[in-house]
Amino acid sequence: MKEGKIMSKITRLFCIISCITIYMITLTGCYDSREIEDLAYVVAIGIDEADNNMFNLTFQTAVPKSITTGEGETTDIKSFKTDNFLSGFRKTGRYLSKKINLSHTKIIVVSEEIAKRGLLPFLNGLQNYMELRPNVNIIVSANGAKNYIESLQPKLTASPTKFYDMMFKSYQTDFRVPSSQLGDYLYRTDSSGSQPVTIYTEVDNSVIDSKKPEAGKPTEQQKEEKKNMSIKGLAVFNRDRMKGSLDSAETSLYALLTGSIDFIKLDVKDPLDERYKILSNIRKDRSSKTNIQVYGNRPQINVDLNLRADIEAVQSNIDYSDPAKSARVKKAYEDYLKNEMNNLLSKVSYKYKSDIFGFGQIAKMNYRSISQWDKIKWHEIFPNAVYRVRINVTVSDEE
């Protein structure tokens, strides 16, 4: 009898707990549903210079459905003139009648003018929004941030976040451009042993829009709409200020030297028939090393690069499997790479005065304490660096 009453109480208690749990889950679901509908997800932020110490803030926002499923209207682009981020966010929120959320932000685009003034004041303003992730990519646009964002239209997917993910993946696989994320940028601006880089873009006039122009539109407007942006290379910074840029070929060498990309594609003139070229995949071997010693205020930087060239295409159709002929290809690559690598190191060190290669991180290991390292003031003496570059290429015929 007593056991029956106890079981009845346990059953009743279990039912009450189950009902409360279901009720709470239902309420939470409704709350989350309302919250999502009340949010405007920013996928891209653009910063352009304006007059009177103001700047133009551009937001590309996406509705929740387009983020997850790609359904419906995907994005909305609006710009606001402001003197601070808080005001710009409020204006955007009022316009959209929603609360701004940065948890899905993929890119921060800044104009070249803003980049040369310094990015930290702007990035510090954005960091007040805790949902902003450190893997957001930073891009410097030679033709303005708003123009760059407007030039990007998802062509293979309706989901804006998926589009940006695919875009940056293609930057690395097709253009061999390393990523330039917010977290790494902020770390390097304050680092005693390295300096930041970001992706650098400009208008590509070689890309032609195949769309037929709409009737009645002015010719100039049609031309404006046909503009497409493409990767130029990397923007080079000293602390948070842009000092110059690297083109695509220089960017590939930077990626090879730093190991930020697995391999680069590189062609040289065919040594046996200079009318044609030889294309190879160039990989950096693990035995490569960099040794640095500081003598007074002059760093001596010795770079030993052991590379593997996997031949991908020979336009002349000459058989380079023969050791004697292969040796000619080896020399062609070694001569080209040594010359171009020295030019790159000179340009970045002496013209831009920026250690984007992270040589300071290697030099730092020669010192027993942080105070000893700080005394040499690496960023001040880096432009005095003397280089010795040794290139060794092993050629492999993979045709």
Looking at the fold, whether 227 and 271 belong to one and the same domain comes out as no
Looking at the fold, whether 188 and 329 belong to one and the same domain comes out as no
Number of domains in the chain: 3
Question: Could you tell me the pTM of the whole model?
Answer: 0.83
pLDDT in tens, the chain (399 residues): 544 555 555 556 555 555 555 545 544 444 444 465 678 889 999 999 999 889 999 999 886 665 555 555 467 898 999 888 778 888 878 877 788 888 889 999 999 999 999 999 888 878 777 678 898 999 999 999 999 999 886 654 567 778 887 777 777 666 567 768 999 999 999 999 999 999 999 877 655 555 545 555 555 544 445 456 688 999 999 999 999 999 999 999 999 999 888 899 999 999 999 999 999 999 999 999 999 999 999 999 999 999 999 999 999 999 998 999 999 999 999 999 999 999 999 999 999 999 999 999 999 999 999 999 999 999 999 999 999 999 999 998 654
Distance CA 147, CA 136 (A): 19
Q: Are 357 and 195 in contact (CB under 8 A)?
A: no
Looking at the fold, whether 67 and 204 belong to one and the same domain comes out as yes
Looking at the fold, whether 298 and 213 belong to one and the same domain comes out as no
- pLDDT attached to residue 33: 46
- pLDDT attached to residue 156: 47
Nearest to 105 by CA among 122, 124, 127, 121: 127
- pLDDT attached to residue 94: 83
Looking at the fold, whether 70 and 203 belong to one and the same domain comes out as yes
- Flag whether 59 is in a domain: yes
Beta bridge mates, 233: 200
- pLDDT attached to residue 125: 78
Distance CA 351, CA 344 (A): 10
Looking at the fold, whether 117 and 168 belong to one and the same domain comes out as yes
Looking at the fold, whether 242 and 268 belong to one and the same domain comes out as no
Burial 89-111 (b: 16+ CB within 10 A, else e): bebbbeebebebbbebbbbbbbb
Range of the domain at 62: 38-246
Looking at the fold, whether 211 and 328 belong to one and the same domain comes out as no
User: Which positions ≥6 away from 32 have C-beta within 8 Å?
Assistant: none
- pLDDT attached to residue 75: 78
- pLDDT attached to residue 119: 94
Q: Which residue has the tokens 């040589």?
A: 359
Nearest to 60 by CA among 190, 154, 170, 168: 154
- Flag whether 251 is in a domain: no
Q: Look up residue 203 and give its DSSP letter.
A: E
Looking at the fold, whether 177 and 303 belong to one and the same domain comes out as no
